[in-house]
Structures are given as C-alpha cells and as structure tokens.
Chains A and B, each alone.
Chain A
Amino acid sequence: MIIIGERISVIARKVREAMAARDPKPLQELARQQFEKGANYIDLSIGPAEDDGPQLMDWAVKVIQEVVSAPLCLDTTNKAAMIAGLKAHNNQWGRALINSASGEEERLNNMMPLAGEYNAEIIALTLTEKGIPALAEERCEVAANIMAKAMECGVPMEDIWLDPLILPVPFQQDKCKESIRAIRLFRELNDPPMKTTVGLSNIANGAPKEMKGIITRTFLVLLMYEGLYSAIADPNDKEFMDTMKTVDVLMEKRLYAHSYLEM
C-alpha cells in the first residue's frame, strides 16, 4: 500500500515555527525520517498561508526534495501556493499529488484544472458544501461529479485518488462502516479501479490516547481488505506499518520472507 507521510503539517508547532523562520532543518529531518521508514510520498501541509503562500510552498518543496528522493503531496487550499508548489516540484521520483480537490464547487474549479495543466495526480474528497454525505452511495454521486470535472480538465481517471473521509468512531460510530463500503464502491466506478486514499488518524480522534493505536490499525485492515490504495499516516508508527505490511503479505501484494517486517 502507498503511504503518504503526514508529519510535515503546519498544525505541528515545530513545523509552523520552522516555516515562519524559513529554517529547513526540521522539515528536512521529518522528511528524511518518514522516507526511511517507508513513506512513498511526503505530505507538505502549509494550511491556507494567506500572507506568503507561494513563496513558502516554493521554498518548502525545494528544501524537502533536496533530502528525499520522493514525490510530494502538496496540501493547501491556497491556489496560488499550489501553483508555486507544482512548479517547484521535481518529478524525477514521481509526479506531485495535489491535496486536495473536493465536490465543493469552488474548490473543484480551483484545483482540478491544475492537475491537468501541471500533469499532477490529485486527491478528491467526496464532500460538498452540504458536508459529508451519510451513505456510501451518496459519496459515489459526489465522486461521479468529480470524475466528470476531471474529464473536462483532461485528467485521466488513474490520476484521481478518491477520499471517502473518515469520521471519528467516538462521535460518529455509524459512519465507520459507510467509509469502508465507500472504498469498495469507489473502486467499482472505473476499470481499472479508481485509486483511493484516507486520512486514517481521524478514525481515533477523541478516543483515549492508549486506544488510538488499536482502533487505527484495525480500521486499516478493514479498509485494506476492501482494496484501499493509500493512506495518509505516520510511517514512524511501527505497529501501524507492521500491520500494513502484514495485510499486504496476506493479500499477496508483497512477497513473503521471514524478515518481511524489517524491509
């Protein structure tokens, strides 16, 4: 499974401060660490960055790709910053991933054309102005709208990663199985199956700290059984990564060897 390393996020104080001071070290350290632990993409979340979005994104993309041979997942709602990131991105190790479009009209119109224009892949959240639809079938309707827009923008279906959105089990227990079903239904929307991704840690938001690991890992197994393509997660979490590798082995997506966990 494809792992998008989530650690470089403006929500973390250390990252926020490093971005404000243009100190490359903390970002590079987080990037390197995640890459070594098996991240396939490094997420770079700068938030809305209203003051200096484009400059910040340009700088951050370059300093991160100085130290890791991986594509980045560019995470901002700021369109100008997204463009700056796509221009700065080095495609040598894979194309950039835009994080994210959604079924909201403005966001879809802002982001989807960029995927076509800059030959990037794109994550699309199946939500609209009205929020996250309750049923998996309704999320498929949103997905269909997103796919129609993609066709209009010349973005191939293989470049879209559909995200059903994960709601925390402590607050929305009845929505968990809808997200699982959504993965299955999304895949059926196209042949070859649509790619899918989730922000996994949200499942355990609000749960006691000692419960987060088991909830997240078990949810991962259920999603992977339905064919989940990728997850935004923390590759430093060894138990999580071990679970992911084991499911890959059991589903025959990774070759077994006695020491498979160590690779």
Chain B
Amino acid sequence: MPFAIPKDSYAGKINSLTFGSGDKAVTIGGENGLPFLSFESSISNRPVVALEIQDVAPSDWPDTVRKVYDGVSGSPAQWAKFCQDSLGAKIVALRLVGTHPDRENRSADDAVKTVTEVLSAVDVPVMIIGSGHIEKDAQVLKAAAEAAKGKECIIGKAQEENYRTIVTAAIANNHKIIAMSQLDVNLAKQLNILITQMGFNRENIIMDPMSSALGYGIEYTYSVMERIRQAALVQNDPMMQTPLLCDIGPNVWKTKESAAPESELPEWGSLEERGIVWESVTAATMIMAGCNLLVMRHPKAVETVNRLIGELM
C-alpha cells in the first residue's frame, strides 16, 4: 500500500487584508491552514516585512543598526525614501516614538508634519505606529489618521484603554487598525469584539499579540500566536481570523546579545553579526508561529528572513 501523507483540513480561514494604494499596495493573510503547511492548505500571500523608521533620530539604537541609516535618519522623509529606493522595502513603518512624553514629547501637530512628509516621499504602503503611550497615542494617531486620509495606512496600536478614539479615526479616514493586547488570547479576542462592535469591519484588523525577542520571552509570544491560530482555523472563530503583526525591533535591539560590545564579551564574536542573527532568528520564529507582517530594523536581517520565506513557500 503506498504511503499517504496524513492531512488535516481546517474549518476557518485567515482574512486577507490589502493596504496602501496603487500598484504598490500589499496584501497579507488569506491562508486556510497553519503556517507553511502547503501540502494540506493554501497560502495565498507570503509574510511580508516592513522596515522601521522613526520621527526622531534613533539615538537609542545600537551603533551596528544605527550606522546603516547614517546620513538619512535625521529626516524621516529621506529615511523612508532610502528604505524604499535603496533597500527595496515593500512597506515603511513609521514609529512616532518622539511623541512620547518621556522622550522628545513632540506634539500631534509635529507628528502630522512628519506623516505628511513621509507619505509624499514614498509610494509603498506606510504603517503609522504610535509611541505606545496610551493617552498620547490617542491624540497623535487621531491627527495622523486624518493627515493620511486616502492612503489606506495601517495605524496603531489600538489598546484596550484607547481603542475608541483610534478606531473612530480609522473609520473616518479609511485606515486599517493594529489591535494590541498584552500576551493574552482572551483579551485579544475581547478587544477585537469591542472594535467590531463600534462598526469597524473585522477584516480591517491586524492583531499584535505583543511580540517579543529571542531571550526576552519569545516562547510566550509563540504560544499565544499558536493558540490564536488554533482558534481561527480549527475552531473557526471569526474574531481570531485576523492577520498577525510582529513588531520585533524594539525588543531585539535591546537584548544583551545584540548590544553588548565585543570588548566586554569577546567570546561572543562579532557584535554586528550577533545583532543581525538575533533579529533574523526572532523573525524566523515569528513567521513559524503564523506572523503575516513583520516590522524590522536591520536590512541584512530582512534579507535573510525574505530568503527563508522564499524557501518555505
């Protein structure tokens, strides 16, 4: 008797979501099976990577990744253009970290100016990510959403405490939303329900399970993502069928392995290589868990991950 590969079939399917405009628009999601199991399910769209830029110079990034953007990181528009034109980024993720009250405390008006400049500098889709400060994000992202009207951006992150303002702005200006909860499947589902109950189309939500980095509790993120995918595909839970976002840069480039100098730890080898490997491995782990959209910092790590995705597809 010939050997037959046992195959599972899944009741549910991940929503497919298109953002950006024109021929540079990007579509993610759409798969009806677990990650890369193409022998039993169809993967309509490959996971994609966005390159991160910021509204202020990245003074807190390790030198090894900061130097890649020397000469452009002082201007968000030039930085965005560099990512698109020189590094071939398919998506640019603008993090408005400078609006955080503990950082430069830039105003919503400052953010609008940056968003407008970046949007006119590139034609690839743009993601607009707040600083993570609950109250400030509500103000900043509302203004940014209005400034980006018509560009079908992804904006976020909407959290339990500020989703109302951000979702209202996304509805009014036709954007997609990142819904983030803190490593908790039940709260993730609850937030999606609440957002949907405001009249927001659930097919325009991307879920951020709160990703981590290798050595920073990545196994928790992995388990949460696995559970989300089980609910979406096996239990056919419509609230969990959104594409998944992993925003790994901030944690990866905070780990000791990506930042500790060679003079302190000569036995760990090249610092530059370490950082790139750390970001690559973190990203690879996240795509194995079902991530559809990654936000990353080092172009060499992006290259590695894109090659891996190509081999897995």
Contact = CB atoms under 8 A, between A and B. Distances in A.
Interface of A: 253-260, 262-263
Contacts, number: 33
Interface residues of B, number: 15
Most buried by B among A253, A255, A256, A258: A255
Nearest to A94: B11
A256 B231 CA distance: 10
B263 interface: no
B193 A257 contact: yes
B240 interface: yes
B238 A257 contact: no
A227 B61 CA distance: 54
A256 B190 CA distance: 8
Nearest to A255: B231
Per CB-CB distance, the 10 closest pairs between chain A and chain B, nearest first, are A257-B189, A257-B190, A255-B231, A259-B193, A256-B186, A258-B190, A257-B186, A255-B189, A255-B237, A257-B193
Contacts of A255: 185-186, 189, 227, 231, 235, 237, 239-240
Interface of B: 185-187, 189-190, 193-194, 197, 227, 231, 235, 237-240
A257 B239 contact: yes
Contacts of A262: 193, 197
A92 to B, nearest CB: 13
B179 to A, nearest CB: 12
A253 B234 CA distance: 9
Contacts of A256: 186, 189
17 contacts: A253-B235, A254-B237, A255-B185, A255-B186, A255-B189, A255-B237, A257-B187, A258-B186, A259-B190, A259-B193, A259-B194, A259-B197, A260-B189, A260-B193, A262-B197, A263-B193, A263-B239
Contacts of A260: 189, 193
Nearest to B237: A255
Given A255-B237, A257-B187, 18 more contacts: A253-B235, A254-B235, A254-B237, A255-B186, A255-B231, A255-B239, A255-B240, A256-B186, A256-B189, A257-B189, A257-B193, A258-B190, A259-B193, A259-B194, A260-B189, A262-B197, A263-B193, A263-B238
A257 B187 CA distance: 6
A204 B101 CA distance: 63
Nearest to B188: A257
B196 to A, nearest CB: 8
A260 B188 CA distance: 12
Contacts of B187: 257
A28 B68 CA distance: 61
B124 to A, nearest CB: 34
Nearest to A262: B193
A254 B235 CA distance: 7
Contacts of B189: 255-257, 260
A263 B186 CA distance: 14
A102 B86 CA distance: 69
A97 B78 CA distance: 60
Nearest to A256: B186
Contacts of A263: 193, 238-239
B233 to A, nearest CB: 12
A40 to B, nearest CB: 9
A257 to B, nearest CB: 4
A122 to B, nearest CB: 19
A144 to B, nearest CB: 26
Contacts of B238: 263
B57 to A, nearest CB: 41
Contacts of B237: 254-255
A121 to B, nearest CB: 14
A258 B237 CA distance: 15
Nearest to A254: B235
Contacts of A258: 186, 190
Contacts of A259: 190, 193-194, 197
B208 to A, nearest CB: 17
Contacts of B185: 255
A255 B231 CA distance: 7
A260 B185 CA distance: 13
Contacts of A254: 235, 237
Contacts of B227: 255
A236 B240 CA distance: 24
B64 to A, nearest CB: 41
A253 B227 CA distance: 12
